[in-house]
A and B are shown apart, each in its own frame.
Chain A
Amino acid sequence: MMNLIQSITSKVPSLPLFATSESRQASGAAEAGTSTGISGTSGTPGKEKAGKQLRMETRDLTVRYGSTVGVKNVSLPIYDNQVLALIGPSGCGKTTYLRALNRMHDLTRGASVTGSVLLDGKNIYDSEVNPVIIRRRIGMVFQKPTPFPTMSIYDNVVAGLKLVGIRKRSVLDVVCERALKQAALFDEVKDRLKSPGSSLSGGQQQRLSIARALAVGPEVLLMDEPTSSLDPQSTSRIEDLIHELKNQVTIVIVTHNMQQAARVSDNTAFFYVGDLIEYGPTSTLFTKPKETRTEEYITGRFG
């Protein structure tokens, strides 16, 4: 049985959706194989990687909407298997920055992006890069749960795979179970995979959205206020999930909730009116912020 699963999962990364470049194909097989969580392969790749490794990086990233500048010259490192939290008052540019990380602004009329966003050292805004493939490598979860309402739980999870022509039932089954387990939802829904996704509670729907994002095997997961529409208990589950997922993927999370940023992240970036004010390890930023504005914001004096 294990051999079967391994042969299936080892096939998955060789499918076109996982690979953009040769280097990715080479490392992709190894990574997708280990990050499945179902295979018998040993080890947790994330934890064993020594030190901090850059997964993404932005250099002088500027995002404009028409004549308005949403994000100004932001350079930030995004480390592998760590959680980066973006905090700041409304309108500070944190969501704008997040959306630039997987080229979501391509879809916004009048938006323009300058500077670079590097994924494994390669600028994702280069003309030869296919944004669709970028969005598979860099997945996104939104503020409100976004299950496809007419689809079953199962179909929701595998939607991304079907989209690229993977229809083999045995592959889809394995990926679906793996993704639901990664999203800590499997045990709650395993007996009703055929029920509509919209039949789940809000917290479950959000975990379903996360499972769907994970199904295509992303390396980076962007989360835009993933718990702002959830109750405290569901919020806590998602936070635990973030803690577990970071062994497998790199996470960037935007949150209005400063305490949440403090709880879940390794590094924090504080934005204010489009500027990056301060970036550093979360524990330092929340105990010894360097900038007065950071101190004022995290102590609740403005924002």
Chain B
Amino acid sequence: MRIAFQEHLKTLNRELHTMAEMVNRAIIRSVTALKERDVEEAKKIKKDDIHINNKRFEIEEQCIHLIATQQPVATQLREIIAVLNIITDLERMGDYAEGIAKIVIKLNGAESVKPLIDIPRMAEIATDMVTQSLDAFADRDVARAREITAMDDDVDDLYHQVIRELISIMIEDPRTITRCTYLMWVAHNLERIADRVTNICERIIFLVTGELVENIGKDQD
């Protein structure tokens, strides 16, 4: 039943995956540029953010088209609304990646205050979370969505570790304050990206159960 609509929904999901891949690539590229102090690459990443923004508008247009022409209800309506929310989160993640690239430009090849291990690790977990959340969305997998949310705690732990470490470096040598602050921003951006993934997970719950929930699988503190 409703073959045309089903096809449209499939296309929409494919587009969503494409956008998630674009975002992940931007995150990985920006952290790699940071590690390699590659200002030229950072400039390119900054420029490429426009493609993510455009993709978001493209998908949004498709959602509007489907709502206007196909009169979606129930799960199908929730799916389209969920997609609209997810692309907003993805677009924002793209901005965070762009933010990291901007910091690479500001650092302008300056030597790093510390070996970069935790920050790339944060990026690795965050991008893994993005991929997994999109898979869980496609599979309508609520249990998996909750597991992914738990991964955010790992990113938070790394974040706090990085902050502590940077603070002690700054205390030891105030000349590093500027560079350390920049790295704090990078860590903060990655922490925000992982946080945005939990929003996607909340949308999976919404899609499957129709319930709008906040902070799933997290200790309320």
Contact = CB atoms under 8 A, between A and B. Distances in A.
Interface of A: 236-237, 239-240, 243-244, 259, 262-264, 282-283, 286-287
B5 A263 contact: yes
Given A283-B65, A287-B64, A240 B70 contact: no
Query: Could you tell me the dominant secondary structure of chain B's interface residues?
Result: helix
Contact of B69 (A236, A240, A286): A286
B2 A239 contact: yes
B220 interface: no
Contacts of A237: 1
Contacts of B2: 236, 239-240, 263
A236 B69 CA distance: 14
Interface in B145-196: none
Nearest to B67: A287
B3 interface: yes
Contact of A243 (B4, B64, B68, B69): B4
Nearest to A284: B65
B3 A263 contact: no
A287 B68 contact: yes
A7 to B, nearest CB: 33
Contacts of A240: 1-4
Contacts of B5: 263
A282 B69 CA distance: 8
A262 B2 CA distance: 13
Contacts of B69: 262-263, 282-283, 286
B1 A263 contact: no
A61 B64 CA distance: 34
Nearest to B64: A287
A263 B70 CA distance: 5
Contacts of B65: 283, 287
Interface of B: 1-5, 64-65, 68-71
A234 to B, nearest CB: 11
B71 to A, nearest CB: 5
Nearest to B69: A262
Contacts of A287: 64-65, 68
A244 B5 CA distance: 12
A259 B4 contact: no
B1 A236 contact: yes
Contacts of A239: 2, 4
A263 B5 CA distance: 8
Given A239-B4, A259-B71, A287-B64, 17 more contacts: A236-B1, A236-B2, A240-B1, A240-B2, A240-B3, A240-B4, A243-B3, A262-B68, A262-B70, A263-B2, A263-B4, A263-B5, A263-B71, A283-B69, A286-B68, A287-B65, A287-B68
B71 A244 contact: no
A117 B2 CA distance: 33
22 contacts: A236-B1, A236-B2, A237-B1, A239-B2, A239-B4, A240-B2, A240-B3, A243-B3, A243-B4, A244-B3, A262-B68, A263-B2, A263-B4, A263-B69, A263-B70, A264-B4, A282-B69, A283-B68, A283-B69, A286-B68, A286-B69, A287-B68
Contacts of B3: 240, 243-244
A236 B71 CA distance: 13
Contacts of A236: 1-2
B112 to A, nearest CB: 50
A237 B4 CA distance: 11
Contacts of A283: 65, 68-69
Given A283-B65, A287-B64, A287-B65, A262 B71 contact: yes
Contacts of A244: 3
A202 B152 CA distance: 57
A282 B1 CA distance: 21
Nearest to A233: B1
Nearest to B2: A236
A263 B2 CA distance: 9
Nearest to A240: B3
A282 B68 CA distance: 10
A130 to B, nearest CB: 36
B85 to A, nearest CB: 20
Nearest to A287: B68
Contacts of B68: 262, 283, 286-287
A181 to B, nearest CB: 16
B96 to A, nearest CB: 31
A7 B1 CA distance: 35
B69 to A, nearest CB: 4
Nearest to B1: A236
Nearest to B5: A263
Nearest to A262: B69
Between B1, B4, B69, B71, the greatest number of chain A beta carbons within 10 A of the residue's beta carbon is seen for B69
